[in-house]
Amino acid sequence: MEFTSLPHPSPTPDAERNARIADPGFGKVHTDHMVVIDYDAEKGGWHKATIGPREPIPLDPAASVLHYAQEIFEGMKAFRHEDGGLAMFRPEQNARRFNASARRMAMPEIPEELFLDAVKLLVQKDAAWMPPVEGGSLYIRPFMFASEAFLGVRPATQYKFVVILVSSGNYFKGGVNPVKIWVSQDYVRAAPGGTGAAKTGGNYAASLVPQAEAIKQGCDQVVFLDAVEHKWVEELGGMNLFFIRRDGSVITPPLTGTILPGITRDSLIAMLREEGLEVREEPYSITQWREEAESGELLETLACGTAAVVTPVGTVASPSGEFTIGTGGIGQMAQKMREQLVGVQNGRIEDQHGWVMRV
């Protein structure tokens, strides 16, 4: 599909852009352009692809997304390599997962090629927004929503696929900090047969109250247990978990439909196996977590996802008290995995898996 390039009437002046990307933080320094591709079942599907100025999207007040939440998204990053080139990390996995999410939400799939073309085009267009800081990246947010003006309850016939970018700094400014997490008692993130494996906004909406509760309890993040037995550890609001044990085994909760299949998770499984560890995808209970932390059998717990890469879990808190993992600090494996992953992403460590795609 050909992208029509729409002129930007007033791109950000160089000096202003440079000032804004000098210390961008996360999620607030938006770039100048966006990609929009329209879908209409009556016009043969995907059509009219544009790359143009980033601007508000006109939306009918009856647009289905505003009422029934037909929406999905992805989160990925582009990096600058030392040779000046740009690269993305396993973007074809994001394209594939986007379509898996689309199927669950009764939305049309987008050809993987088109998804990748859209992302690459935008990254090239706004490459000047790459922050010139150690650990900086362009965070890429592709998303799709139902735009049809129709209040009946059924899958919409019209959608918009949009890609935007934010300039982001090092998540770990001032070093990696272990997180303290709160075990949600009254809320679950996903139930069997629900939408937990889809990257859809509704999952996040449902996690905001428990996340606020975690903050109120002096924690950074919330961890969810399974919806049926309230016993098995699933994941954080937006990160998967790994339990590193003294006997050389590593456990990560299995993908049974209630857990988001993280690309960082998948990459870590491969990397930990290459370290000689025995990685098993099997259920891990909250009791086991506490007991193994207390006995010293559990060496580390890692939380992982695109935004924060690999973060150690230091402390776990619940109404029945709290427990500390290892020393409560940054474990050896957390450090090692983070350095390796970041190294491959920014091109300083050889990419032995074919994970890096040059843009």
Ligand X SMILES: *Cc1c(COP(=O)(O)O)cnc(C)c1O
- Taking the complex as a whole, the smallest distance from the CB of residue 8 to ligand X amounts, in Å, to 30
Minimum distance from CB of 350 to ligand X (Å)? 22
CB of 246 vs ligand X, minimal distance in Å? 26
Q: How many CB atoms lie within 10 A of CB 311?
A: 25
Q: Minimum distance from CB of 5 to ligand X (Å)?
A: 30
Task: Tell me the closest approach of the beta carbon of residue 75 to ligand X, in angstroms.
Answer: 5
C-alpha 258: how far from its chain's center? 16
Which CB, 142 or 305, lies closer to ligand X?
A: 305
Annotate 153-211 with DSSP letters as a single string: SS--SEEEEEEEEEEE--TTTTS---EEEEE-SS--S--TTSSTTS--HHHHHHHHHHH
Report the residue number, 35 or 263, with the smaller CB distance to ligand X: 263
Q: Which residues in this chain contact ligand X in the complex, by CB under 6 A?
A: 75, 199, 235, 238-240, 260, 262-265, 305-306
- DSSP per-residue letters across 16-39: HHHHHHSS--SS-EE-SEEEEEEE
Surface-to-core class of residue 76, CB atoms within 10 Å of its CB (0-12 exposed, 13-18 middle, 19+ buried): buried
Task: Determine whether 265 is exposed, middle or buried from the number of CB atoms within 10 Å of its CB (0-12, 13-18, 19+).
Answer: buried
Q: Closest approach of Cβ 200 to ligand X, in Å? A: 9
Comparison of 63 and 236: residue with beta carbon closer to ligand X: 236
Between 264 and 318, CB nearer to ligand X: 264
Closer residue to ligand X, CB minimum distance, 51 or 88: 88
* Residue 314: CB minimum distance to ligand X, A: 19
Residues 196, 199, 202, 205: what is their CA dihedral angle, to the nearest 10 degrees?
100
| End-to-end CA gap in the chain | 18
Closest distance between ligand X and the C-beta of residue 273, in Å?
17
By beta-carbon proximity to ligand X, the closer residue of 78 and 239 is 239
The smaller minimum CB distance to ligand X, of residues 33 and 265, is found at 265
Percent of the chain as helix, strand, coil, to the nearest 5 = 30, 30, 40
Q: Dihedral of the CA atoms 110, 194, 280, 234 (nearest 10)?
A: 120
> Nearer Cβ to ligand X, position 38 or 266?
266
**Residue closer to ligand X (CB basis): 3 or 355:** 355
**What values do phi and psi take at 72, rounded to 5?**
-140, 160
What is the closest distance, in whole angstroms, from the C-beta atom of residue 261 to ligand X in the complex?
8
Report yes or no: 153 and 68 within 8 Å, Cβ to Cβ: yes
**Could you tell me which residues are beta bridge partners of residue 76?**
140
Q: Is 16 helix (H, G, I), strand (E, B) or coil?
A: helix
Q: What values do phi and psi take at 202, rounded to 5?
A: -60, -35
